[in-house]
Amino acid sequence: MMKKLATLFMLSFVWIGFSQTNETITTNGGVPVGDNQNSKTVGEYGPVLLEDIYLVEKLAAFDRERIPERVVHPRGAGASGYFEATKDMSPYTKAVLFSDAGKKTDLAVRFSTVIHGKGSPETARDPRGFAVKFYTEQGNYDIVGNNLPIFFIRDAIKFPDMVHSLKPSPVTNKQDPNRFFDFFSHVPESTHMITRLYTDLGIPKGYQYMNGSSVHGYKWINAAGEVTYVKYSWVTKQGEQNLTVEEASIQQGKDWQHATMSLRKDIADKNFPQWDLYVQMIKPEDIHSFDFWPLDATKDWPADQIEKIKIGTMTLNQNPVNYFEQVESIAFSPGALIPGVEPSEDKLLQGRLFSYFDTQRHRLGPNFLQSEINKPLQDPKNYNSDSWSSAGNKRFDNPDVNYQPSSKAALKEDAQYKQVETTLTNVTITQKKISKTNDFAQVGDFYRSLTKVEQDHLIKNLVGDLGQVTDKNIQKTMIGYFYQSDRDYGMRVAKALGFSQKDFMN
C-alpha cells in the first residue's frame, strides 16, 4: 500500500481540476503574448535581451504600482559602518575594496522585510532584505540580496506575478494562502525557497542575528581581463538566531518593531554588530559541471562543492539620525557596480538590473543619486543635464558644452574601464525554460540537514498556511513537490493536512 501511495504522491504534482478559459494574455497595447514565463535570451543560458519589449513593459509597469512606498522591501531599518578586507583578492578582481588586506571602505546598510507593508510587524514570516552600499573611490558598489541564499523564481518575468500573489488580495485586502499557493503550485522551482522560508529562518530574532547572501552569482574581472563567477555570503558574528511561531506571537504582543529597536540599541550601546563576508568562486570553464545551473537564483552553491573563502568583515557602528534621509531615501540596485564586477547571465539578476534603478527613479526622482546618502565619494563627471530636482550637475571647463564628443569637451573615456568582451558563437535568440532545472534535489538535501526539531517546526509552519488553502488540488500539487524533494517531507505534510490514500485516488 505504501508503494502505491508513493506512486500517487509522485503523480499528484500534475495539475488537475482547474477551470480553463480561452482568453489570451496581452501587452498593455493589446498585443497577444506568446510566452509569459521566459525572457528572451541569447541562447539557453545567455543574457536577457533589451529587445524583449514585453519583459521591459511588464517590469516597468510593476515598478510603478505603488507610490511612494517601495513595491517590495517597504519596511526597513538601516545603519552605517565600514568594511575591512582581510584578504587580497586582486588576482580575481579589480574591485578596489577587495584589493588589499586591511583596506577599509565606508558603507551603509538597509535590512528589510520583503512583502509586507511599511507599517507591518517585524514578526511576520517573510524573507529579509540584506543590502549593503560600499562607498569606494571608484564609485558606489551595492550588494543587494536576502537573508536566504536563494529565491522563489529564476526569471524576472515571473516577479510581478509572484509579488501580486503574495500581496493582499485586491478584493479582500488580506494576504491569502489560497492566492500564493495557487501561484507556487504552478512554479515547482519555488519549492526550495518555500521550504527554507517556512523553517524558523523565516522569522529572524533580529537583523543582527541573520546571515545574508547576494543570491545571484556575478562576474569578477581581474586586471588581465580574466573572468571568475562569484557569489557572496554574509555570516553574522552574533550567531544566527530565529523565532518560533509561538515566540513571535509573544514578541508581537510586546513590540512588533523589535528588530529595528534591537539593532539600534546594540549600536547605541557600542555592541557593534559584525558580519564576515565570504565568497565562492567558479571558473567559467566549470560553470556547466554541476547537476544544477549555478546562475539559477533558486539554487544554492553547496559549500562542499564550492569552497567558501572569507575576504573581510563588516562592522555597523552608526545609527541613522534622520530615518527618511538615511534609510527611506537610500537607493540600492544590483546594477550599481564598479570596475572589477559585472553582471552574470542569471535571468532574475538581468531583470533586476533594469527594475531596481527604474523603481528608484520613480520613487525618488531621476536624480536620486544626488541625495547625500546615495552620492559617491567623488563628484560625478558627465554631461547629463537638468531634469527634476537636479542640483548636482557640473559644467566643468566650458559651461556651454554639455555633450561629448567635442573639441571643447573636458571629459574623455578611459579604455581601461571598458567591460570585458564576451565571445558568442552559434547564437540563438529564444524564449524557453533552462533544461537543467533540478528543482527538488537541493530541497531534499536542505530538509535532511535539519534537526528533528527544525523539521517539526517546518511542517507545523507550512501546514499552518497550506492548511488554509480550500482547493485540495493545490494542496496535492504542493505535496507532490515536497515528496519529490524528500519522501518523508511529502508524507508528513500529507498526513498533517489529513490526506489519505483514498484522497489521492480521486
Biggest distance spanned by C-alpha atoms of the chain = 85
Give residue 228's identity as a one-letter amino acid code: T
Residues listed for the chain: 506
Looking at residue 326, the DSSP 8-state letter turns out to be I
Other Cβ atoms less than 10 A from the Cβ of 31: the count is: 12
Distance between CA atoms of residues 194 and 199, nearest Å: 9
Cis amide bond preceding 273, omega within 30: no
Q: What residues have CB less than 8 Å from 481, skipping those under 6 apart?
A: 13, 185, 188, 191, 439, 440, 443, 490
CA dist list (Å): 142 to 186, 232, 298: 33, 12, 21
**For residue 439, which of 199, 194, 158 has the smallest C-alpha distance?**
194
The dihedral built from the CA positions of residue 92, 94, 99 and 104, taken in this order, carries a sign that is negative
> Which one from 38, 73, 457, 461 is the annotated catalytic residue?
73
**For residue 109, which of 262, 326, 277, 267 has the smallest C-alpha distance?**
326
Distance between CA atoms of residues 131 and 447, nearest Å: 27
User: Which helix (DSSP H) or strand (DSSP E) does residue 479 occupy?
Assistant: helix 472-485
Other Cβ atoms less than 10 A from the Cβ of 441: the count is: 15
Cβ atoms 38, 431 nearer than 8 A: yes
CA dist list (Å): 481 to 144, 189, 270: 29, 9, 46
Distance between CA atoms of residues 458 and 499, nearest Å: 18
DSSP reduced 3-state for 231: strand
Is 207 one of the annotated binding-site residues?
Answer: no
116 catalytically annotated: no
Cis amide bond preceding 405, omega within 30: yes
Tell which phi-psi region holds residue 253, choosing left (phi > 0), alpha (psi between -120 and 50) or beta.
alpha
Rounded to a whole number of angstroms, the CA Rg of the chain reads 24
**For residue 229, which of 133, 92, 427 has the smallest C-alpha distance?**
92
Q: What residues have CB less than 8 Å from 44, skipping those under 6 apart?
A: 428, 430, 432, 434, 435
> Which one from 38, 116, 140, 146 is the annotated catalytic residue?
146
Look at strands 218-221 and 212-213 and give their pairing. unpaired
140 catalytically annotated: no
Q: What residues have CB less than 8 Å from 254, skipping those under 6 apart?
A: none
**Catalytic positions, written as ranges:** 73, 146
Instruction: Specify binding-site residues.
Output: 356
Instruction: Specify binding-site residues for heme.
Output: 356
